[in-house]
Chains A and B, each alone.
Chain A
């Protein structure tokens, strides 16, 4: 009997994987993602090729010389009075007019732009003016050795976070970067959401299609309905697994070969020292700690393995659970339109878990995070948002166990509906009728 499920899984897998659309989406989606990530950088590259010239009319005669030009903004002081300057510099990006009273009245400054100004440009000018004015005001206090004092006061705090699990020895404490965890949590739970919804609906549609083409009536004489349903679900699951594996391989492959090229040597050294448990002091205070931590996390093989394994287990578990529900709905109706009403209660928990996930990312150990990552219908997506933050292993295992247990119960119930549904045509059953079908002998 297992053999028959195997034959059905084989058919589902082969038919789907051989489709052009599968090959295209599998290969193009990563390219599309790369493109989406690269696009803003490219735009930034091209749009800022020329610095913006800003003419400065400084009636206070105290500030203009301290404004620092950069690649994006070039300050040019002009001696013209403001009215003339506004005409003379109409080709420049903007005219900055600093009033006489700027030291006492911070609002005595105006920017006349010849085209639309961006927020970043305005913030840049504001912060430069603020710094110049503040330091001038400090100087007015006539403190001795002011530059030296300022230099010794200036501090750049670099927080490092470590997981408190496992050995308490400093050398074994694992660095973990919460920025990286947040990004991974967000991306993974979103991927899971997409997979469950897209592939779940795919199962439903293909059941409806087979029911309509009456293939199911032919098959049902050689295969038990439960086996038909499980074969279909597992077949589609294997397609989803293949797709995600290809993507993971691409990501790791690109990461393995490309990342080392991009990272400067001294940072790479620091990263590997950190992974071996070097104390932050040894790396030198100059080092950019958050970048090094992020890289250390991203190149930590154990961490990546744990995340990948959890992703696959929760993806399979979550998909199986939802696919069984979608299959039952598909078997009960004749057209995708009829399915709308019945599938709503299935899609609500999926969408709910996406919202919960957004709050869980901010606080992965909250009560809400814990309970929603245990309740089987929301657990796959919510748990995936928590795993990157090093939560206790027993929580992951408990959640997975509950998920599998629920799947078995749901699959049994879905099989009962499926068995009746595939033979009934022309009616749009209510929930009450589905309940009745479940109890047929």
Chain B
């Protein structure tokens, strides 16, 4: 069952179109990656889901019904730009945000104490946010986002600004929330973080949904006929030879050891021709098929080569 469904949403601002007829559906209990380069329209879509702005046309269904004001209590949103009141005590501030999401003061206090204990930050309760470091403040922000146990959690660039240890802690917590039944949307341009955790993705570029689906399916569907060549010889010569017979995806010269290059070959029949061409220009050390990373797919999709 789909918890959230976006149907033909279009939104334009004074000078540009931010979303052009975007549709997607997010299954309940999944971790959903919303990918795309900067300025593609991800944040606009998240704001529409949060009812911060209204779409020009199209609709958003939450749990099968058109999303309404009451539904924001079931959504937790951590925007890319984190913000807390600098001159307010951590505890009071967290209670304030919880109450805005419809929790009572008592309930919020109890749950907050539990979370603070879990993160080992009980003694921050009476500190001003201004006294905390950026990473510490982000932990508080995370807690305020998930405290009201929303059905839908939306994280915009969640790992930016976290050190690797805390980023990992955060990832664990997010997976734990998913296991408890929450549906999670990740918005990011950082592909490696997506591959590990996301079940489904949508790729948005220039206001359009250009690729949607299950991560494994996408990788296999678009992962055929990608080969990695490692070789000794001149990079330029190989690039020149390869562009004639196939598509060069990535070329990494290595000062020590072998240079490598990734290519996409249009059809199985071409493989032998490509190998022959490569063999003519450089000394091949290995030639093997690879399953592409999401990053490869992302770049090929954005460049219009899928």
Contact = CB atoms under 8 A, between A and B. Distances in A.
Nearest to B87: A15
A11 B84 CA distance: 13
Nearest to A420: B53
Contacts of A8: 100
Interface in B56-98: 56, 69, 72-73, 75, 77-79, 81-88, 96-97
A4 B69 contact: no
A199 B77 CA distance: 32
A113 B79 CA distance: 79
15 contacts: A11-B96, A15-B87, A210-B85, A213-B85, A217-B83, A218-B77, A218-B83, A220-B50, A220-B52, A221-B50, A222-B72, A222-B73, A222-B100, A223-B100, A224-B69
Nearest to B50: A221
Contacts of B83: 210, 213-218
A215 B144 CA distance: 12
Please give me the 8 A-B residue pairs with the lowest Cβ-Cβ distance, nearest first. A214-B83, A221-B77, A215-B83, A214-B81, A222-B100, A221-B50, A217-B79, A7-B99
A4 B100 CA distance: 6
B141 interface: yes
A208 to B, nearest CB: 13
B165 interface: no
A218 B101 contact: no
A7 B100 contact: yes
A218 B84 contact: yes
A38 interface: no
A436 B56 contact: no
Interface of B: 14, 47, 50, 52-54, 56, 69, 72-73, 75, 77-79, 81-88, 96-97, 99-101, 141, 144
B93 to A, nearest CB: 9
A217 B81 contact: yes
A1 B51 CA distance: 15
A4 B70 CA distance: 12
Given A217-B79, A217-B81, A221-B72, A7 B96 contact: yes
A213 B82 CA distance: 8
B97 to A, nearest CB: 7
A423 interface: yes
Contacts of B78: 218
A219 interface: yes
Given A217-B81, A221-B79, 7 more contacts: A210-B85, A213-B83, A214-B82, A217-B83, A218-B82, A221-B72, A222-B72
A215 B140 CA distance: 13
Which of A215, A217, A222 has the largest count of B CB atoms less than 10 A from its CB?
A: A222
Contacts of B85: 15, 210, 213, 215
B140 to A, nearest CB: 11
A220 B50 CA distance: 9
Interface in A197-250: 210, 213-225
Given A218-B79, A221-B79, A423-B47, A213 B101 contact: no
A441 interface: yes
B295 to A, nearest CB: 28
B14 A221 contact: no
Given A218-B84, A222-B101, A423 B141 contact: no
Which of A216, A221, A441 has the largest count of B CB atoms less than 10 A from its CB?
A: A221
A321 B141 CA distance: 34
Nearest to A424: B13
Contacts of B79: 214, 217-218, 221
B253 to A, nearest CB: 39
Contacts of A215: 83-85
Contacts of B96: 7, 11
A8 B75 CA distance: 20
A415 to B, nearest CB: 14
